[in-house]
Structure 1
Amino acid sequence: MTRPDGAGLSDEQRYDQGMQVRRAVLGDEHVDRAVAGTVPLTADFQGLITRYAWGDIWSRPGLGRRERSVAVLTALIALGHHEELAMHLRAALRNGLTQEEVVEVILQSAIYCGVPAANTAFRIAKDVYSEA
C-alpha cells in the first residue's frame, strides 16, 4: 500500500508520487516547462525536489494543500524569494485559497515579516493575478 507521506516507497515511487502532487499544485504547464528546461547540471536537483519536496513533504497527511500554501507563501515572503512567490501565488488558487485569503496572508506577513516584504508581495500578487 502506498503511504501518502512517501514512507516505504522506492525513489522511483516517491518521484512518481511527487510528480503527481507537483502537477496538481503547480499545473502541467509549469512542470512541463521545468522538466523541459532540465539539463545535466540541474537533473539531480529536479529529481531531489520532486522526490523530497513533492513526494515526501507535500504528500504528508498532516496538513491540507490550502494550509501548506499559506505556510509556503509566508516563508517565501519572509525570505524574499520573489520568483518562487509568484509561482506559489498561482498555486495557492489551485489549492483552494481565494485572492481575498491571499490578501490576508500577505497582510499577516506584514506584521511578522515586515512591511517592505509585504509591499513587494502585494506588487507580485498584483502582477500574477492580473495575468489570469
Structure 2
Amino acid sequence: MSETSGGESDSDAADPGAADPYAAGLRVRREVLGSEHVDRALAGRTEFTERFQDYITRAVWGTIWTRDGLDRRTRSCVTLAVLTALGRSGELAMHVRAALRNGLTADEIGEVLLHTAAYAGVPVANEAFAIAQRTLAELGEPTARPRTEG
C-alpha cells in the first residue's frame, strides 16, 4: 500500500469514508489543497457548477488521488508537470502549495519544472517557474527570493 508523506495510506480500507468516493475525495482534497481552499470552492457552488464540484470531488479526489500505486508526492510531481505542459497556469499556484503540503521541497518543485521544460518546452516552463516562484515567495520560501550580490 502506498504511503502519503504523513505516513497514512493513500487509500485506507479502514477509513469509513473510503467506500464513499465523495467522502474519501473530500477528505483527500482537504488534506492536499487545505480546508480553506476547499471551503471556498464549495461555498462558491451554484446550481450550474454544483455537479462539477461533485464530479471532481468524487472522480479526481475520491478515485484517482486515493488509489494505491503512487504516493501523494509523486502525484503532485505528475500534476505539476501536466499542468505546466498543458499551459494550465490557473491551477498551478494551487498545486505548488499542494506539492509543498505533500512533502516536496521548493528545490524539488523546481526540478519538476526544469524536467518538464525539456519535454514540454521552455515557454510553458518559463510561465510555470514565474508562478511557482511568486507562490513560494508568498509562502516565505527563502530560495524564491531574489539573489543579493556580495
TM-score by length of 2: 0.80
Q: 1:36 aligns with which of 43, 48, 62?
A: 43
Q: 1:84 aligns with which of 80, 86, 91?
A: 91
Instruction: Identify, as 1 or 2, the structure richer in helix.
Output: 1
The one-letter code matched in structure 1 to 2:82 is: A
SS at match of 2:20: helix
Residue 72 in 1 paired to residue 73 in 2? no
- Distance in structure 2 (CA, Å) of the matches to 1:125 and 1:87: 9
- Distance in structure 2 (CA, Å) of the matches to 1:92 and 1:115: 21
- Distance in structure 1 (CA, Å) of the matches to 2:96 and 2:117: 16
In the alignment of these two chains, the number of paired residues is: 127
- Distance in structure 2 (CA, Å) of the matches to 1:115 and 1:87: 21
Residue 119 in 1 paired to residue 126 in 2? yes
Following TM superposition, the consecutive aligned residue runs of length 4 or more in structure 1 with deviations greater than 3 angstroms are: none
Overall identity of the aligned pairs, in %: 54
Task: For residues 57-96 of structure 1, give each alpha carbon's deviation from its aligned partner in whole angstroms, at most 9, with x where no partner exists.
Answer: 0000110000000000000000011011111011000000
The one-letter code matched in structure 1 to 2:40 is: R
How far residue 55 of structure 1 moved from its aligned partner, in angstroms, is: 0.3
- What's the counterpart of residue 53 of structure 1? 60
**Unaligned 5+ residue runs, structure 1?**
none
- Distance in structure 1 (CA, Å) of the matches to 2:51 and 2:45: 9
Task: For residues 21-68 of structure 1, give each alpha carbon's deviation from its aligned partner in whole angstroms, at most 9, with x where no partner exists.
Answer: 000000011001001101110000000000000000000011000000
- Distance in structure 2 (CA, Å) of the matches to 1:110 and 1:120: 10
- Distance in structure 1 (CA, Å) of the matches to 2:11 and 2:136: 31
| RMSD of Structure 2 on Structure 1 (CA) | 2.0
Greater Rg by CA: 2
For the 8 Å contact 1:5–1:60, the answer to whether it is kept is no
For the 8 Å contact 1:5–1:56, the answer to whether it is kept is no
TM-score by length of 1: 0.91
